[in-house]
Amino acid sequence: KQEVTQIPAALSVPEGENLVLNCSFTDSAIYNLQWFRQDPGKGLTSLLLIQSSQREQTSGRLNASLDKSSGRSTLYIAASQPGDSATYLCAVGDMGRRALTFGSGTRLQVQP
């Protein structure tokens, strides 16, 4: 059974810092990996999707990497802003149904 772990569970940083969120998974036979943002009481917003054959994806200040063999992904946020405060969820897609297995998330707070 796939298990996804996210470290740290919570993070508080001053505005302007670069930061890294970590995600690990136990079964390397994944189809893809997706990073989401979730604001309190809201739904999920897709940030980046990495196919299993890819090593990284970038969107603006966000960069996500994937090392499938070691079962790890990182989300790098450059020059953090208070508006980045949210919970970030990592999810891996299975080969068959493309269903997602989620980590518990990293709750990020960026202090002005």
Partner 1 sequence: NAGVTQTPKFQVLKTGQSMTLQCAQDMNHNSMYWYRQDPGMGLRLIYYSASEGTTDKGEVPNGYNVSRLNKREFSLRLESAAPSQTSVYFCASLKGPPDTQYFGPGTRLTVL
Q: How far is the CB of 6 from partner 1 (least distance, A)?
A: 8
Measured from the CB atom, is 97 or 112 closer to partner 1? 97
Number of helical (H) and strand (E) elements in the chain, helices listed first: 0, 11
Q: Judged by CB under 8 A, does residue 112 bind partner 1?
A: no
Q: Judged by CB under 8 A, does residue 30 bind partner 1?
A: no
Q: Judged by CB under 8 A, does residue 32 bind partner 1?
A: yes
| 19 within 8 A of 7, measured Cβ to Cβ | no
Q: What is the DSSP letter of 40?
A: T
Selected binder of partner 1 within 49, 56, 62, 74 (CB under 8 A): 49
Q: Could you give the 3-state DSSP secondary structure of residue 84? A: helix
Q: Judged by CB under 8 A, does residue 106 bind partner 1?
A: no
- Which amino acid does the sequence have at 20? V
Selected binder of partner 1 within 12, 18, 26, 46 (CB under 8 A): 46
Residue 31 falls in which region: left (phi positive, over 0), alpha (psi -120 to 50) or beta: alpha
| 9 within 8 A of 90, measured Cβ to Cβ | no
Residues at the site binding partner 1, with contacts judged by CB under 8 A? 4, 31-32, 34, 36, 42-44, 46, 49, 51, 89, 91, 93, 97-105
